[in-house]
Structure 1
């Protein structure tokens, strides 16, 4: 692992793991010897990170130089905690992990009083019925970002299966499942595809980048701005 990537990894571990974190654990997670780990801790301290602890005890990040100090009022903290908790329940493992990482980064930038409010927020999010798994979500998300078409196999509500090429525009999460909003080349129109009804999904090399903005405008107009 390149040293720069290792240092970012070390900072992330110090943000997210309950402290104090032992040198042995940090060395294992970053793939280096404990001797190198101590040097990396020293380098982070020299760069401005306030890291409490020492060899044989463990380390705790108390001030993170990579993130600017932030100040939120109590309602803003409630909104952040509630929103990220909701993200963790949408059956998308990558987004759930990102929400955990975002919460850890925010906690590392706020004063201790505000961090305590985050840990003891009075608003919670809970779903009695788990959302359907967001199938093929990583492939779909990459195609949306890179603006490339997908080849999918899809079963409708009656179980009839079709194979289609689609131009993915956005993923919409509801309380029950994730839905892909896309231009369907087979039907020559905009369609919503429930991810749990997809039985196959493959990336293609076909780019629709020049048309993406136009397609988004059309679908928003067609759906009366509801998307």
Structure 2
């Protein structure tokens, strides 16, 4: 195994995947949200760098080729589990997350079954867009948690009447409830839209992989 810089970045990204969940075990919110968001974004950035460097420096290795898709899937799956677990279990969030998780398991199973012929399931440009959409959606949804908990800290001890009065402009907004509330609402909406787009791309790429694998799944006559 060659421990090139691209391979080291891939391994670090793989280790960062469970680290996102660990943040919520050892830190309180919203600090856990901040740390998870920072770790996830940093790991997502290395996803572009390790592939770019490997191709530019002609350091594409078997280790990197094997670990890169695993690291991507681990990041997405674990981050989605954390987001869904700490959410209100809204079907608007659970459904696209379920589609994404199902596709990742399904395609991984296809690759395992095909073995040496799995090279026919090459990563397409659409699959790269799918991964990008997933990571951007997850980063935005993590940022929603940041806004949500800063808002919760600011309204602590207030009743609903006082909160509504501040948000509607009747009372002065000394604590910045307005921008925190708007930040929570818009990151939630944008994150969900992006997640649905990612789920649609996920279905399309999953079907494409299944279609390419069909000739290898036919029974011998």
Larger helix share, 1 or 2: 2
TM over 0.5: no
Question: How high is the TM-score relative to the length of structure 1?
Answer: 0.23
Higher CA-based Rg: 1
TM-score with structure 2 length normalisation?
Answer: 0.24
More strand by share: 1
